[in-house]
Structure 1
Amino acid sequence: MTKQSSKPAPGAPPRRARPGTDAPARPADPGHANTLAASADLLALRAQLSRAEKAARRAPAPTPARAARPQAPLKPQRQAELGGVSTDDFSLAQAHARLRDAVYDGRYHLCPHAIGHARAEGFLEHDVLNVLLTGRVRAVYTQERRWLVCGYFEACGVALPLHVVAEPHRDGHVDIVTAFVPKHPHHIISRARLAVMLRYDDEHVRARTAHAGNRVGHRGKGRWKKSA
């Protein structure tokens, strides 16, 4: 019995390599590698552009700067009305700090004139206190030692302006002299107008009974005439 040889016969075709055996590696295609690199670069560039567009949309647009309007000079009559009224920032800030401390400590008194305006114009005590705490001191009446505080209160879902006049005392208490809904919210009331309002606004309407008699310039028998 003869032993078969594993060597291929001369002239026979070469055998294929079995799977799992080491096969010679094919040389890499340089064109295909360049195409993959270009595709990766393009995807990265698109991602960067997309992130930049999202960041630009999220960033708030800069507010255009408004040109400051030149303030018109006050008329001589208005300058005379504002005599004795201080509007500098230091006085207003100091007055507002003292006012808030007095309200927080409960050292305030609501005067009858303010109560009468509240009943007539439809605001309450907490509306007045809210203006004193969150409003803005617009003027200081130096001679009367009073402050004008401007703010807003809400009635039926509508914000209405409310001005409050407060008078401080040396012991830290504050009298709420009056409060009213102004006709011109941004107008600082003058000292003379404030004095007139405090003097005459709280007067009651007096009724008088008319007696039967002659009208002026007419002669009669002293009786009422029937209307037509």
Structure 2
Amino acid sequence: MFGLTLPQFIAVAVLPLLFAITVHEAAHGWAAKRLGDPTAQRLGRLTLNPIKHIDPFGTVLVPGLLLLFGGFIFGWAKPVPVTWENLRQPKRDMALVAAAGPGANLLMALLWALVAKAGALLPDTLYWAGTPMQYMGQFGILINAVLMVLNLLPLPPLDGGRVAVGLLPGRYAWQLSRVEPYGFFILLALLFIPVGGQSVLRMILAPPVTLVHRMVSGLAGL
């Protein structure tokens, strides 16, 4: 990927991937606190320390295996706990808390685009810094675009599913919320079911991810 060897790719990908996942979760906790629920703060989850958010399976094993086998890279962290009853307007506020994660990914994509642009502007004599910054920035844009679009899918327990539950009228919201216990298995099925040589999940995500990547890169002049 990006024309790099596997060790080189891991070196430039680790930091953007960790921040993409952990800042996403911290954003949920921050939004919940602003809306009346201090649960995440009390449990020490309002932090950018990756150790507090890492899920051994979703943050390490799954992305590592997908990277090793050249698949579609994604992952997840330990969900930030939110006490629904503490929120001022629970139905609306849960949707806002959910939306904070993808919003954080969009912001990080823009910041990584600036890193890539800064690397490109460095003189050739500083290639040892400029080249890694460009690769790291490009991967930062990509992984954050993937996580943003993935989490906006209207499938509970993904953020998009919870936003949809918060926006739909009561009866329809309740019906959609009943999907949540099965959402993870549906997501895995979409990831591993092949159609035309690629997974269904990749077919769904590729067009919007490409659009977001191009828009962010264009804003930074990349």
Q: Normalising by the residue count of structure 2, what TM-score does the alignment of the two structures yield?
A: 0.25
Structure possessing the higher relative contact order (Cα contacts under 8 Å, 6 or more residues apart)? 2
- Bigger radius of gyration among the two: 1
Q: Relative to total residues, which structure has the larger helix share, 1 or 2?
A: 2
TM-score (normalised: structure 1): 0.25
